[in-house]
Amino acid sequence: MREDKTLAQALESRGVSRRAFLKYASYVATLMALPPSASRVIAEELAKARRQSVIWLSFQECTGCTESITRSMSPTLEDLIFDFISLDYHHTLQAVSGAAAEHARTEAMKANKGKYIVVVDGSVPLKDGGVYSTIAGITNLDMLKETAKDAFAVVSVGTCAAFGGIPHANPNPTGAVAISEIITDKPVVNIPGCPPIPEAMTGTLAYLLSFGKLPELDAKGRPLAFFGETIHDRCYRRPFYERGMFANSFDDEGARKGWCLYKVGCKGPIAYNACATLKWNGGASFPIQSGHGCLGCSEPGFWDKGGFYEPLAAATAKLDIGVGAAAVAGVAAGAAAAELMRRKKSAAVDAANSKKKDG
Amino acid sequence: MKNHVVVDPITRIEGHLRIEARTNDAGAIEHAMSSGTMVRGIEIILRGRDPRDAWAFAQRICGVCTLVHGIASVRAVEDALKYKIPRNAQLIRNLMIAAQYVHDHVMHFYHLHALDWVDIVSALKADPKATSELAQSISSYAKSSPGYFADVQKKVKTFVEQGQLGIFANGFWGHSEYRLPPEANLMAVAHYLEALAWQRDVVKIHAIFGGKNPHPNFLVGGAPAPISTSPTGAPGGAAATSVNIVALQEIRNVISKMMTFVDQVYVPDTLAIASFYKDWFKRGEGVGNFLTYGDFPEKGMDDPSSWLIPGGVILNRDLTKIHPVDLNDPSQIEEFVAHSWYDYGPGKQKGLHPYVGETQLAYSGPKPPYEALDADKSYSWLKAPRWKGNVVEVGPLARVLMLYAKGHKPTKDLATYALKTLDLPLEAMFSTLGRTAARTLETKIIGDQMKVWLDNLIANIKGGDVSVHNAERWDPSTWPAECKGVGFMEAPRGALAHWIVIKNRKIDNYQAVVPSTWNAGPRDPKGQPGPYEAALMDRHTLANPEQPLEIQRTIHSFDPCIACAVHVVDPDGAEVMQIKVR
C-alpha cells in the first residue's frame, strides 16, 4: 500500500518538492492560527497517496462559490484536485455529463463509504415536493440525503447552503432551507459568504483532511479561524471610526481619504468574516478598501436586514452618545476575540498531540 | 425508449440543465428538448425593496458571469431616475465588464469546453519534444520547452496512475470523435492548467474597483471606487483606498499579461484545435437569427453612436440588413410560457412584454424522480423570449456578426484572418465551432480596447477629474412617485436587460430577460424550438448514444448559464400573494 511510504517518498512520486509541500502545510497552520507542530501533521496527512474523496453537490446556487474556490491562491484549486483531494463529482468542473456523471457520484460513495466529504453549495427547496430544483430527475432533498448518508462530514459553502441565503430571502418563494436543517445526524461545517473567501474554503478542507475532525466552530457552525472576529475589529479604517471621521457619501473628501464607511451603511461591525485580514484575490483589496461598505454577507438573513445603505441602528446610537462608548464596545469585542483565539490554539495543540500519539 | 437520450446533469456549465433527444436508428437527432430544472424566484424576492439595493440581489442570479446582473440593474435604476453617471465611472464599468469577458471566455474555452475536443488520456502518449515543436510552430508563448511539457505530462501520468480520476472520471476518453493527435492534447492540457492560474490575476481588476471577485460591488449613480487622496489632498496617492496610482499601474500590468495569454495561447489554440474538427463548422447552426442590444459606451448609454458593440437584429443570416431594437416597444420583446412551468392571466398561449409580464409558478411536469419530460406539454423553468415573434440567438456569434455587418475594421480583419487560416468561408461561422471561434475573436477585440479605457481614466485623474459618483439623485426623496426604466448590456453570453418599475421609492416590479433564456428556452406556442434545440437538430449524429459527446459539444458552444436563464417575472404587488403553488 502506498500509505506505507514515507512523506518524502510520497511527495517525490507525485512530483512535489518536499520544501514546497512543507511550506504549504505551515501556511495552512498559520492561516488557521495553529501551533507550528500542527504543520507536520498537516503535511503527513495531505501527502497520503490515496486522496480524500470529495463529492460536491450544487443545488439552488449561482456557481459563485465554485468560481471563488478557483481563485484560491494557496492551496490553488489545481493543487487541491491533483494532490490533496479526489473531486469525484462537481457539476461545473467534471468532464462528463449525464448518467456517467451520476455514476461517478455513486461509485465514489461506494468506494469511500464513511470516509468521503460532501461539500454543498446552494440551498434546498422543500416547497411542493421539491419540484423547484431537480438533477437527473431527482429532487435536491433526495440527492442530499442519499449522498450525505455515508459521508464523514458535510461542508456547506456559501451563505445559501449555510443559512438559506438569497433563495431564503423574504418571501422565500420556493421554501428554500439551509443544509443544516436537513442534515442533523452528521458534523456540518458552515463556510458562509457570498461567496466565501476562497482560502476559508481550502483552508477548512485542508484542516478536515489533516485532522479528520472539524475545526473549532462558533455557534453558527463557522470555523473560528476565519469567522472569529468581525470585519470592523480588523478594518484598517477602524482608527477613523474611533476618531469620528466618516465618509458621508460615496465620493466626498472622507471617501477619498479612506475614512470609515459606517454612515453609508457598512455592516462590518456585525459581520464575522476574514475579509479585512485575508483580503481578496491575492490581497488586491476588500470591499471597504475599494470604497463600498460591507454587505455583511457571511451572516444569516443578511438580505433581510433593512437595506445595504442604511447605517446600523445600534451604531448610530453609539455615534450619537459619542465616540467613546463605541470605542469601549470595540475593546470589549477585541478582548473576547483574543480569548477565542487562545482557546482555539490550545485545542489545536491538543489535536496535534493526540494525532501524534495515534499515529 | 430505445432512441431516447437523456443528458442530465449537463456538466461544465453554470446551473442545472437537462437535454433530452430522440434519434433515428442511425443515431441522428430528430428531436431535442432543453429544460432548465432549477428556480429561485429572485425577482419576487426583489419586490418592495430599495431600488439602490437591487444590484446586489440581481447579481446573485449568477456567480460565473458575476457582475453582469449588477451592471444591468444599476443601469435600469439610472434609466428610471434619469440619473447621469460620471465619465470615470463609465470607464471603470467598461474596464470591469471587459475584464469579465476576457476572464469568462478563456475559462469557458479551457475549463468548460475544451474537454469536448481534447482527450486528456491521449496526452499521456505524446512526445514532449514534438509537443514543444507544435507549440512553437503556432505561437511565440514562452512556456513551450520540451521540459515544460514533460513536467505537465508527468503530473497527469502520476494522477492517472493513482487510479483516482476525480473530475476526469468516466470521461469519454478514447471516443472515436476525439481527433487531436496526442501532442495537441498535451498542449491543451498544459494550457488548461495555465489558464487556471492566469485567471486569478485577471480578477484583480474587479477586486481593485469592486472590492472582490466573485461578486464585486456596484453603486447606483457611479462606481463605489473613490480615487484615493493623500492626507495633503493630492489625488491618486497615499493608498487611502485601493484605487490609487500604484493600483492603476498594477491594472496596466494585469491587462498586459492577460492579453499576452489571449494573443499567444487562446487565439492560436482555438485555431489549432478547430483545424482538426472542420466538419463542426457545418452543423449546429441553430436559427440563423441574431440579436444584440449594444454596450461599451465611450460617452454614455444614451449615446449609441459611442458604443463599441452596436445593437440590432440580423434575420435569416442576412448581414446586409440590421433591424433596430426597441426594448420599450411592447410588440418587440415578448416572453412565452406555452411550454414552461408557469401560468399567465391572459392564457398560456399569449406573449407578454416584460413591463406587463406575469409569474405564476405552476409546475406541471412529472413527479420526481422522473425518467422523461413531455415536449407536447410544459417542460422547463425557462420561458421562451421572442423578438417580433422570431427565435433569435444572442452571444458572441451575434456580436461578431453585428460588428462584421457594420464594417468594424478590427473585427473584419480578425475574422478574415481566422477564416483564411482555417480555409473556411464566412458561412462557416453559422455553426457550433463558428460560435466557439466568435467567442475567441471578440475576446481579443474587447480586450484590446481596455488599454484605451485605462489610459483615458488615468488622463482624467491627472487632469483633476476624480469624480466617480454622482450624488445628485442618491437620496430617494428626490425621486418621482412613480417611474420605470430598462437597463441593458452585452453580457459575455449575450444580450441582457432588466426592467424595473419604481413606486413610492420601492421596487414595484423587477424583471430580467437574460442571454441563456434567449438561447436555452423551450418551444413557443407556434412550436418553434429555441436555439439550443434547433442547433441540436441540425445535422447531429451520435456515434455512440451511450456517450453523447456530440450533444455536449454543441450545448457547450453556447456557454450555458442556467441560473441566469431561469427567472421569475411578476407584474404587481397583489400577484405575489397569488403565486400558484399546487
CATH at residue A205: 3.40.50.700
Chain-chain contact of A97 with B10 (C-beta, under 8 angstroms) = yes
What is the rounded CA–CA span in Å between residue A333 and residue A329?
A: 6
CATH of the domain at B432: 1.10.645.10
- Here the ipTM equals 0.93
Give the residue from B121, B148, B167 with the most A CB atoms within 10 Å of its CB, the best one to mutate: B167
Chain-chain contact of A59 with B207 (C-beta, under 8 angstroms) = no
Chain-chain contact of A308 with B53 (C-beta, under 8 angstroms) = yes
Q: Same structural domain for residues A122 and A65?
A: yes
B13 by DSSP, 3-state: which?
coil
Domain count, chain B: 1
In DSSP terms, which residues pair with A135 in a beta bridge?
A: A138
Q: Same structural domain for residues A172 and A245?
A: no
Asked if B526 is an interface residue toward chain A (Cβ–Cβ < 8 A), one would say no
Which cell goes with A178?
A: 439551509
Nearest CB to B204; choose among A132, A281, A287: A281
Side-chain-side CA neighbours of B351 within 13 Å: the count stands at 19
pLDDT given for residue A37 in this prediction: 79
State how far residue A280 is from chain B, nearest Cα, in angstroms: 6
Chain A / chain B CB contacts < 8 angstroms? 334
Reply yes or no on whether the pLDDT at A356 is more than 60: no
Chain-chain contact of A63 with B52 (C-beta, under 8 angstroms) = no
Q: Is residue A31 part of a domain?
A: no
What letters, b where the CB count within 10 A reaches 16 and e where it falls short, cover B190-212?
bbbbbbbebbbbbbbbbbbbbbb
B570 by DSSP, 3-state: which?
coil
State how far residue A317 is from chain B, nearest Cα, in angstroms: 22
In DSSP terms, which residues pair with B336 in a beta bridge?
A: B351, B384
pLDDT given for residue A329 in this prediction: 42
In B, which residues are within 8 Å of A92 by CB distance? 11-14, 64, 112
Q: Is residue B398 part of a domain?
A: yes
Q: Which of A190, A225, A260 is the last residue of a domain?
A: A225
Chain-chain contact of A78 with B197 (C-beta, under 8 angstroms) = yes
pLDDT given for residue B299 in this prediction: 82
In the residue annotation, B516 being an active-site residue is answered as yes
Give the B window 309-368 contacts with A, CB below 8 Å: 361, 363, 365, 367-368
Reply yes or no on whether the pLDDT at A147 is more than 80: yes
Give the residue from A205, A281, A286, A298 with the most B CB atoms within 10 Å of its CB, the best one to mutate: A281
Chain-chain contact of A256 with B228 (C-beta, under 8 angstroms) = yes
**Residue A174 domain boundaries:** 51-225
Q: Same structural domain for residues A193 and A244?
A: no
In B, which residues are within 8 Å of A138 by CB distance? 368-369
Reply yes or no on whether the pLDDT at A357 is more than 50: no
- Tens digit of pLDDT at every position of chain B (582 positions): 569 999 999 999 988 999 999 999 999 999 999 999 888 888 889 999 999 999 999 999 999 989 999 999 999 999 999 999 999 999 999 999 999 999 999 999 999 999 999 999 999 999 999 999 999 999 999 999 999 999 999 999 989 888 899 999 999 999 999 999 999 999 999 999 999 999 999 999 999 999 999 999 999 999 999 999 887 777 777 789 999 999 999 999 999 999 999 999 999 999 999 999 999 999 999 899 999 999 999 888 888 999 999 999 999 999 999 999 999 999 999 999 999 999 999 999 999 999 888 777 899 999 999 999 999 999 999 999 999 999 999 999 999 999 999 999 999 999 999 999 999 999 999 999 999 999 999 999 999 999 999 999 999 999 999 999 999 999 999 999 999 999 999 999 999 999 999 999 999 999 899 999 999 999 999 999 999 999 999 999 999 999 999 999 999 999 998 877 775 433 333 333 222 322
pLDDT given for residue B41 in this prediction: 83
Q: Is residue A297 part of a domain?
A: yes
In B, which residues are within 8 Å of A81 by CB distance? 166-167
The model's confidence at residue A6, banded by pLDDT at 50, 70 and 90, is low
Residue located via cell numbers 498559520: A30
Q: Same structural domain for residues A82 and A221?
A: yes
For B373, the closest chain A residue by CA position comes to A137
Q: Is residue B100 part of a domain?
A: yes
Q: Which of A225, A243, A260 is the last residue of a domain?
A: A225
Chain-chain contact of B38 with A60 (C-beta, under 8 angstroms) = yes
Q: Is residue B148 part of a domain?
A: no
Average pLDDT over residues A232-247: 96
State how far residue A353 is from chain B, nearest Cα, in angstroms: 30
Which residues have CB under 8 Å from B371's CB, separation 6+? A137, B6
A358 by DSSP, 3-state: which?
helix
pLDDT given for residue A14 in this prediction: 62
Nearest CB to B370; choose among A60, A103, A137: A137
Q: Where are the beta strands (DSSP E) in B353-493?
A: 384-387, 482-491
What is the rounded CA–CA span in Å between residue B55 and residue B67?
A: 9
In the residue annotation, B69 being an active-site residue is answered as yes
State how far residue B472 is from chain A, nearest Cα, in angstroms: 11
Q: Is residue A154 part of a domain?
A: yes
Q: Which stretch of A181-185, A353-357, B97-101 has the lowest confidence by average pLDDT?
A: A353-357
DSSP class of A64: H
Average pLDDT over residues A115-136: 96
Domain count, chain A: 2
B334 closest CA partner among B467, B582, B526: B526
Q: Same structural domain for residues A286 and A192?
A: no
Q: Where are the beta strands (DSSP E) in chain A?
A: 52-58, 85-89, 117-121, 124-125, 134-135, 138-139, 153-157, 176-177, 188-191
pLDDT given for residue B226 in this prediction: 97
Q: Is residue A32 part of a domain?
A: no
Residue located via cell numbers 440551498: A123
Q: Same structural domain for residues A91 and A59?
A: yes
Condensed to tens digits (0 to 9), the pLDDT of residues A279-312 reads 999 999 999 999 999 999 999 999 999 999 999 9
Average pLDDT over residues A193-211: 93
Q: In angstroms, how far is CA A118 from the centroid of its own chain? A: 14
pLDDT given for residue A358 in this prediction: 41
pLDDT given for residue A23 in this prediction: 73
Q: Where are the beta strands (DSSP E) in B283-415?
A: 290-292, 295-297, 307-309, 312-314, 333-336, 351-352, 384-387
Q: Which stretch of A146-160, A322-336, B174-188 has the lowest confidence by average pLDDT?
A: A322-336
In B, which residues are within 8 Å of A280 by CB distance? 207, 211-213
In the residue annotation, B483 being an active-site residue is answered as no
State how far residue B116 is from chain A, nearest Cα, in angstroms: 8
pLDDT given for residue B74 in this prediction: 98
Q: Same structural domain for residues A81 and A173?
A: yes
Burial-class residue A82 by CB neighbours within 10 Å (0-12, 13-18, 19+). Answer: buried
Q: Is residue A342 part of a domain?
A: no
* CB B384 within 8 Å of CB B523: yes
* Start-to-end Cα distance in chain A: 17
Chain-chain contact of B196 with A78 (C-beta, under 8 angstroms) = yes
Q: Same structural domain for residues A170 and A250?
A: no
pTM of the model: 0.92
In B, which residues are within 8 Å of A282 by CB distance? 200-201, 204
In A, which residues are within 8 Å of B229 by CB distance? 253, 256-257
Asked if B389 is an interface residue toward chain A (Cβ–Cβ < 8 A), one would say no
Q: Which member of B12, B18, B52, B62 is catalytic?
A: B62
Sheet holding B29-36, edge to edge: B4-7, B17-23, B29-36
Give the B window 81-120 contacts with A, CB below 8 Å: 107, 111-112, 115, 120
For A11, the closest chain B residue by CA position comes to B158
pLDDT given for residue A16 in this prediction: 65
Condensed to tens digits (0 to 9), the pLDDT of residues A13-56 reads 666 666 666 777 777 777 777 877 787 787 777 777 688 999 99
* CB A212 within 8 Å of CB A187: no
Q: Is residue A46 part of a domain?
A: no
Helical H runs in B60-145?
68-81, 87-107, 128-138
**Phi/psi of residue B207, each to 5°?**
-65, -40
Which cell goes with B530?
A: 429555441
State how far residue B127 is from chain A, nearest Cα, in angstroms: 19
In B, which residues are within 8 Å of A71 by CB distance? 199-200, 203, 213-214
Q: Same structural domain for residues A102 and A219?
A: yes
A157 closest CA partner among A117, A125, A186, A126: A117
Q: Which member of B103, B540, B564, B567 is catalytic?
A: B564
Q: Same structural domain for residues A279 and A326?
A: yes
What is the rounded CA–CA span in Å between residue A148 and residue B205?
A: 38
pLDDT given for residue B520 in this prediction: 96
DSSP A170-214: TT-TT-EE-GGGT--SS-EEEE-SSS--HHHHHHHHHHHHHHSSP
**Residue B330 domain boundaries:** 4-115+199-225+236-577
State how far residue B55 is from chain A, nearest Cα, in angstroms: 11
Chain-chain contact of B214 with A107 (C-beta, under 8 angstroms) = no
Chain-chain contact of B169 with A104 (C-beta, under 8 angstroms) = yes
B207 closest CA partner among B54, B74, B67: B67
Q: Is residue B300 part of a domain?
A: yes
Antiparallel, parallel or unpaired: β A117-121 and A153-157: parallel
Q: Same structural domain for residues A196 and A144?
A: yes
Q: Is residue B144 part of a domain?
A: no
* CB B180 within 8 Å of CB B122: yes
